[in-house]
Amino acid sequence: MNKAGISIGGLAAGAAAVTVFLHWQNNGVRTSRYVYSDHRLPQGFKGFKILHISDYHNSRQMHRKIINLSRAEGADITAITGDLFDCRRTDVAAGLALVKDLVKIAPVYYVTGNHESKIENIAAIKEEISRLGVNIIEDKKIRLERNGDAITLMGVQDPRFYIDENDEKRDRHIFRNHLLNFTKGDDSFKVLLSHRPEFIHTYRDSGIALALTGHAHGGQFSIPFTDIGVFVPNQGLFPPYAAGMKKLDGTTMIISRGIGNSVFPFRLFNRPEIVTVEFE
Ligand SMILES: [Fe+2]
């Protein structure tokens, strides 16, 4: 083999390796596990485990892997925090198929994201989701009981359902008033499902102990081995809330990197994930 032959062969092998790596970065779903401690947690909930799935964006190619990983976790409940469907290339059947399999694993609780707000027949889709056995807990509180103790599981609808596009100031103001009213006078231990991580100050001011969120897609590109992402909608460049577990005073927030993509169709050092949160 001459030098040119070796060089072309080497280039082809390199290109193949890069292709495999990029496919893995965008389709290789992993499980991220967090342990959550809080001195206010009722004793009966020690060991309680939540499976958290966000931003599926009807990524049907990852369905089987998600279900297999989810089954292996043995969580007590599953929380879905929005963008189950993508509004740009909506595949309702893919989202429904995922929840149909998830309800066989553990009780499923769901809130919408900004993408659902733009899907025309979302009301009918939500009816179908309910019919499949999913608990839609937007602007609802559920009392969860375990070993004689109780906590509150609650959810909020994405503000894009009631606020025009690109009015972030108004988003924050209305969402804040809504959640403060919703939690007023409630001193129970509150776990919130909400699509948006950028509202962490409102979660803190509303007395939320633990908030599960998504929306950020990990910032699309992440600095390797960190939770630092490059860009997140509603937060901008190198934002504070792209992925991982964050704390603000008495509030802990988990931000899922999510499963799928939307406007920007590509991830790097930011693999799709399902998340588990175990209480200790
Ligand atoms: Fe999303």
Query: Residue 169: what pLDDT?
Result: 80
Domain count, the chain: 1
Ligand 1 centre to CA of 57 (Å) is 7
Query: Residue 4: what pLDDT?
Result: 56
The boundaries of the domain holding residue 19 are 3-279
CATH number, domain at 214? 3.60.21.10
Q: Please provide residue 255's backbone torsions phi and psi, each rounded to the nearest 5 degrees.
A: -115, 110
Ligand 1 centre to CA of 193 (Å) is 15
Query: Residue 163: what pLDDT?
Result: 80
Q: Please provide residue 137's backbone torsions phi and psi, each rounded to the nearest 5 degrees.
A: -115, 40
pTM of the model: 0.94
CA distance 196 to 199: 6
- Residue 58's contacts (CB-CB under 8 Å, 6 or more residues apart) are 84, 85, 86, 89, 90, 91, 92, 94, 95, 260
Ligand 1 centre to CA of 81 (Å) is 9
Ligand 1 centre to CA of 42 (Å) is 32
Query: Residue 147: what pLDDT?
Result: 98
Instruction: Identify residue 46 by its one-letter amino acid code.
Output: K
Ligand 1 centre to CA of 142 (Å) is 25
Ligand 1 centre to CA of 32 (Å) is 18
Ligand 1 centre to CA of 48 (Å) is 27
Q: Please provide residue 151's backbone torsions phi and psi, each rounded to the nearest 5 degrees.
A: -135, 170
Ligand 1 centre to CA of 72 (Å) is 25
Spatial contact of 227 and 244, defined as CB atoms under 8 Å apart: yes
User: Who surrounds ion ligand 1 at CB < 5 A?
Assistant: 55, 83
Structure tokens that stand for 42 in this block = 């009722």
Ligand 1 centre to CA of 116 (Å) is 10
Ligand 1 centre to CA of 168 (Å) is 17
Question: How many angstroms from the chain centroid is the CA of residue 159?
Answer: 16
Q: What is the mean pLDDT of each run of 10 residues along the chain (280 residues)?
A: 69 89 90 97 98 97 97 98 96 98 98 96 97 97 98 96 78 91 97 97 98 96 91 89 97 97 88 97
Q: At what angle do helices 92-102 and 122-131 cross, to 10 degrees?
A: 20
Ligand 1 centre to CA of 247 (Å) is 22
CA distance 85 to 90: 6
Q: Please provide residue 42's backbone torsions phi and psi, each rounded to the nearest 5 degrees.
A: -60, 135
